[in-house]
Structure 1
């Protein structure tokens, strides 16, 4: 069984992680909503944005991680949070907003899920999705190279396929357009100033690195992270103030039913 997500580690970079959710929500064209669903709600940072935007709405946060759900409940006791698998989503009623910030990239064949998500919306409802589109960035290329080059290669063979490169935006448009009144698609590249390569490793340990480090233990895990950090140092060079810039491309979709 995969290790649970770590809410505390995830929240070390809360401001940077929440910014894409804030940018996505800014493009949701609704003034009011009665029922709002946050898929992959994590520790509730994105759910909090939804609750503030739609104060009269019933807000439901869903995640597969018990640790994330526990953190979300502590953060927003007035909202409802449940353990649930996005790929088998059932809702008690049609939603006015389905918000999926940085979750669908972990769902196998997630593109095929989009028509189902649209079907769960009320008329005029909005599906808002953000996914990292960063598998060709040096930080992720180095994960795969480190995995394949070390004594742990067999253990980590499956890790390299935990996520797949996102389809072209045209594929998403063709899935959504027949089911939507409007579809908005865009990319944003964030450049996060971080405190050196160790901070990049810390950032990714709670997300992209999990499939690589979870199967390893003790000295083996430490060695993997050391070799991974050494590869990163060739690409993420200190800027004038000593920080490094982590380029982070993300893909956004907003579809109105």
Structure 2
């Protein structure tokens, strides 16, 4: 089994605006929460910069962000503590592959994290059990493993030059399921469920901007697998960069990266 990817919060935050926007779009569809002040969990909170959107929307809430990356959690200190609206924001280590709620929440949210959690569908019933009646599960995930961004990475990793080093390193193409799968599963569990997709035409700037984007997320398993061999790492990045330049040509105004995302909002019966 491939090692879990290591994360670089500074690289991740280089495109913070594009990464934060889908969470705002997700939260806009979350209905009123059943408890005041609300109790909220943010699964896969990363460096915490997006978790603060929860405090903006529910100022009095007690919000806990969970992540399994020590490097990401080290960045959350600037956000932790009392919030301006009288709530509280804190952060804790948790691995979503086996996270089990130990208390009741009014909202369990997750932004661009569950695609890294194999078998996350099986976790949904337990998470719903931890919701207050009338509470909500709100999830956003990248849904673009068929895009050149990922397809070229998989093809290169599976080529003769790299297969031995990178076999099994990348996320599976079914790491995010068809939207209907989530709708069926959550509706069967008694939730009023809203599922949709959005494709963002992300305008990136700077040299080899799509490669720079990928270094923050999709490329992390490759960078982890090759961390002990800088020459091999740089060789892979050069080959992947050249493929991306053809797939996403730079324009006078920047480089467009079409990026499809999947959104799920499921409200538990009151």
Q: Given the two structures, how large is their TM-score scaled by the length of structure 2? A: 0.89
Let me know the Cα RMSD of the aligned residues. Answer: 1.7
Deviation for aligned residue 1:108:
0.6
Residue 48 (structure 1) aligns with: 52
Deviation for aligned residue 1:40:
0.2
Distance 2:41 2:204 in 1: 32
Distance 1:171 1:106 in 2: 17
Residue 85 (structure 2) aligns with: none
Are 1:48 and 1:76, in contact at CA under 8 Å, matched by a contact in 2?
no
Q: 2:113 aligns with which of 93, 99, 103?
A: 103
Alpha-carbon displacement from aligned partner over 1:29-76 (angstroms, at most 9, x marks no partner): 116552000000001122100011111111111000011111112233
Are 2:80 and 2:91, in contact at CA under 8 Å, matched by a contact in 1?
no
Q: 2:72 aligns with which of 68, 72, 75?
A: 68
Distance 1:62 1:123 in 2: 22
Q: Given the two structures, how large is their TM-score scaled by the length of structure 1? A: 0.94
How many residue pairs get aligned? The number is 256
Are 1:180 and 1:255, in contact at CA under 8 Å, matched by a contact in 2?
no
Answer yes or no: is 1:236 the counterpart of 2:248.
Answer: yes
Residue 88 (structure 1) aligns with: 98
Residue 28 (structure 1) aligns with: 30
Deviation for aligned residue 1:219:
1.0
Unaligned runs of 5+ in 1: none
Bigger shift: 194-203 or 131-140?
Answer: 194-203
Distance 1:194 1:71 in 2: 24
